[in-house]
Amino acid sequence: MIIQEFKTKLKANPTSILFAETMQVIEDNYNFIPTTFTNGDIKNKAGENSGSCKLFAFAKIQKMTKEEALFCFGEHYKNVLEDENGDSHQNIRNFMKSGFDGLSFESEALELK
């Protein structure tokens, strides 16, 4: 999928985005280099939570808003919203609190193909 098509869909109907679609647009357009990243008070080692790493790096590169980035998690974000007091999907929950300010990467996680 072309990045601009994905972003147009995201803006027009954010709740229709599926996590698999987000991963596909990233894989179609970028090479992934596993890296350590910090999200709020969670430190993810290189190779851990690669989906979150890819998505957060993509959202940062594409200058998405915090809300757009969260909608890119698709059904996983919906699950978090439906279970506010749960403990699943900690990277999503932390990002909801700290946003991009709490996000840092040890090195670049994505490079354009």
- Domains annotated for the chain, with CATH where assigned, are 3-112 (3.20.160.10)
pTM for this prediction: 0.95
- Range 43-56 average pLDDT: 97
Say what percent of the chain tops pLDDT 70.
100
- The DSSP H or E segment spanning 47 is none
- Say whether pLDDT at 106 is over 90: yes
Are 7 and 33 within 8 A, CB to CB? no
Q: If you average pLDDT over residues 62-78, what whole number do you get?
A: 98
d(CA 104, CA 100): 8
Q: What is the distance between the alpha carbons of residues 80 and 41, in angstroms, rounded to a whole number?
A: 18
Q: Is the confidence at residue 7, as pLDDT, over 90? A: yes
Query: Over 90: is that where the pLDDT of 1 sits?
Result: no
Mean pLDDT value across the chain: 97
**What pLDDT sits at residue 84?**
87
